[in-house]
């Protein structure tokens, strides 16, 4: 039997040591009425047969598409060294570093990851990671609710709508009110966001660049939030964060991000990486694992999980969160990616993606009846307003194996003619030329 080492002789010796006659005797505590009568699984296959089956399934997926799909999840180049290093089985097959002395490699890596995230987002502290960008945003809200003891959350409609639906799901049972302030021209209405703040507002949530790709400076909004004693929560895109004004500089209390763009493949939606950073004063309300530097009994530097009094295995129902793990391997990938690119490589990647998107906006915006919907500056993604339904273009281009972008009408009623187009450093001018040609052909 695969992966089970016991020979019949081993089993016999072990049963004898236990003092039972058969394996079945070990299951005597399961009442006979509850014994499984059937198990509707196929017979086992050889490793080779499983690999062939999975390769055949993989072949049914089309990954040779020319795609301009982003919407918060981006196809960046991943250096081979990320896979090689993060694939080392000393990392892959370890678990949460409960025994710090036997887990220094992972603990130091997480400490370095926390440092890298704090520096990239220009915030004071980061945790060891959360599941994804959406759950990170939910945890940020819960932090704000605990800290302010208030129940109202103001959120911009420009925050990724996938995350907004998640927040609605999570807050249904919690007597929290989510107030969504509508977007205008792909940008938040800052004045309306300010007006939405009141004495019961726990937090205001915005995103930069927002779902439409628009870039903002939220410094004034955050200052207004602070005048209402509400927390300022900002969701960012890590690659562009290497060049954009930072959450720290804007005065954010909590900054979160989806870390997928930092060396994680798209992989059909996961595993991804929830980045969470905050001001140090709030760290005791931050959920998830946190690694700290300390010394051993001989004075040598080492690393441990710290501030565990916040956590579920000690606090049980009074814990800051039910989270008992992190996305350690994904965090490790992000750290290795950042180390390989360095600040220069990250900024170049961001700038290249932005250059391509701005070129695409010029080309596509010049097509008859087409205009760029964003009224403000944008980064590597932008919305196009088409003279036809977005789906007319998507349907036509899918037939040519081109995914021209994301139909905004899916989440924004009234934007049925609008297409969200993303570029990365992998998008070439030729790709954009092909896109422009085909979109032009459908108008």
When the beta carbons of 35 and 368 are compared against other proteins, the nearer one is 35
Residue 170 phi, psi dihedral angles, 5° rounding: -70, -30
Q: What is d(CA 72, CA 258) in angstroms, rounded to the nearest whole number?
A: 8
**Beta-carbon count within 10 A of 234 CB:** 29
What is residue 167's three-state secondary structure?
A: helix
**Smallest distance, Å, CB 206 to other proteins?**
14
Distance CA 255, CA 274 (A): 11
Nearer to other proteins, 187 or 195 (CB): 187
**Nearest-approach distance from CB 342 to other proteins, in angstroms:** 4
Interatomic CA distance for residues 69 and 73, integer angstroms: 8
Nearer to other proteins, 183 or 242 (CB): 242
What is the rounded distance in angstroms from the CA atom of residue 405 to the CA atom of residue 309?
45
What's the DSSP call for residue 311? S
Q: Is the CB of 154 or the CB of 354 nearer to other proteins?
A: 354
User: Tokens representing 350?
Assistant: 């961001």
CB of 47 to other proteins, least distance (A): 5
Pairwise CA distance, residues 18 & 436, whole Å: 73
Burial per residue of 326-342, b for 16 or more beta-carbon CB atoms within 10 angstroms, e otherwise? bbbbbbbbbbbbbebbe
Distance CA 406, CA 422 (A): 9
Taking the CA atoms of the chain, what radius of gyration do you get in angstroms? 25
Closest approach, Cβ 324 to other proteins, in A, equals 5
389: Cα separation from own chain's centroid: 30
Nearest alpha-carbon partner for 158 in 190, 130, 133, 120: 190
Token pair belonging to 128 = 């060891």
Determine contact, residues 158/313, Cβ cutoff 8 Å: no
Considering the complex, state which of residue 192 and residue 351 has its C-beta at the smaller distance from other proteins. Answer: 351
The SS3 call for residue 207 is strand
Rounded least distance, CB 354 to other proteins, Å: 5
Q: What is the largest CA-CA distance in the chain?
A: 84
User: 64 or 414, CB closer to other proteins?
Assistant: 64
- C-beta of 10 vs 229, nearer to other proteins: 10
Residue closer to other proteins (CB basis): 106 or 193: 106
Residue-wise burial string across 83-117, b where 16 or more C-beta atoms lie within 10 A, e elsewhere: eebbeeeebeeeeebeebeebeebbbbbbbbbebb
In the complex with other proteins, which residue's Cβ is closer, 324 or 366? 324
CB of 336 to other proteins, least distance (A): 6
What is the smallest separation between the CB atom of 68 and other proteins, expressed in angstroms? 10
Distance CA 333, CA 267 (A): 14
Closer by beta carbon to other proteins, 368 or else 408: 408
- In terms of CB distance, is 62 or 227 closer to other proteins? 62
**154 touches 145 (CB < 8 A):** no
| Spatial distance between the Cα atoms of 372 and 382, rounded to a whole number of angstroms | 7
Shortest distance in whole angstroms from residue 269 CB to other proteins:
3
Tell me how far, at minimum, the Cβ of 405 lies from other proteins, in Å: 9
Least Cβ distance, residue 431 to other proteins (angstroms): 15
**Please, what is the minimum distance in Å from the beta carbon of residue 284 to other proteins?**
9
Q: Residue 107 has which token pair? A: 């603990």
């Amino acid at each position: 039997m695969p992966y089970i080492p016991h020979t019949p002789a081993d089993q016999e010796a072990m049963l004898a040591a236990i003092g039972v006659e058969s394996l079945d005797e070990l299951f005597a505590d399961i009442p006979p009425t509850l014994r499984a009568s059937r198990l509707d699984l196929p017979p086992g296959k050889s490793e080779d047969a499983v690999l062939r089956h999975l390769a055949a399934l993989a072949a049914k997926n089309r990954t040779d598409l020319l795609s301009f799909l982003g919407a918060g999840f981006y196809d960046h180049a991943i250096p081979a060294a990320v896979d090689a290093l993060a694939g080392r089985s000393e990392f892959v097959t370890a678990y949460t570093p409960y025994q710090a002395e036997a887990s220094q490699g992972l603990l130091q890596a997480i400490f370095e990851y926390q440092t890298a995230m704090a520096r990239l987002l220009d915030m004071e502290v980061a945790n060891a990671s959360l599941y994804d960008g959406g759950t990170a945003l939910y945890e940020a809200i819960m932090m704000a609710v605990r800290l302010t003891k208030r129940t109202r959350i103001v959120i911009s409609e420009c925050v990724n709508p996938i995350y907004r639906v998640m927040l609605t799901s999570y807050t249904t049972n919690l007597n929290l009110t989510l107030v969504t302030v509508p977007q205008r021209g792909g940008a938040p209405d800052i004045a309306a966001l300010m007006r939405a703040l009141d004495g019961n507002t726990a937090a205001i949530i915005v995103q930069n660049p927002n779902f439409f790709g628009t870039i903002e400076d939220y410094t004034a909004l955050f200052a207004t939030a602070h005048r209402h004693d509400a927390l300022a929560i900002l969701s960012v895109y890590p690659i562009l964060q290497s060049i954009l004004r930072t959450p720290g500089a804007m005065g954010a209390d909590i900054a979160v991000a989806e870390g997928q763009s930092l060396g994680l493949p798209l992989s059909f939606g996961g595993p991804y990486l929830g980045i969470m950073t905050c001001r140090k004063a709030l760290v005791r309300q931050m959920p998830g694992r946190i690694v700290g530097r300390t010394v051993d009994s001989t004075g040598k530097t080492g690393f441990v999980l710290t501030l565990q009094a916040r956590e579920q295995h000690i606090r049980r129902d009074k814990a800051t969160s039910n989270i008992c793990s992190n996305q350690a391997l994904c965090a490790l990938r992000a750290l290795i990616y950042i180390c390989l690119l360095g600040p220069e490589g990250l900024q170049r990647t961001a700038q290249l993606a932005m250059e391509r998107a701005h070129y695409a906006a010029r080309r596509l915006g010049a097509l008859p009846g087409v205009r760029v919907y964003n009224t403000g500056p944008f980064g590597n993604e932008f919305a196009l307003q088409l003279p036809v339904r977005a789906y007319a273009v998507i349907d036509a281009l899918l037939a040519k194996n081109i995914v021209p972008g994301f139909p905004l009408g899916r989440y924004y009623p009234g934007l049925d003619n609008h297409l969200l187009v993303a570029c990365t450093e992998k998008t070439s001018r030729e790709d954009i030329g092909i896109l422009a040609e085909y979109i032009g052909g459908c108008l």
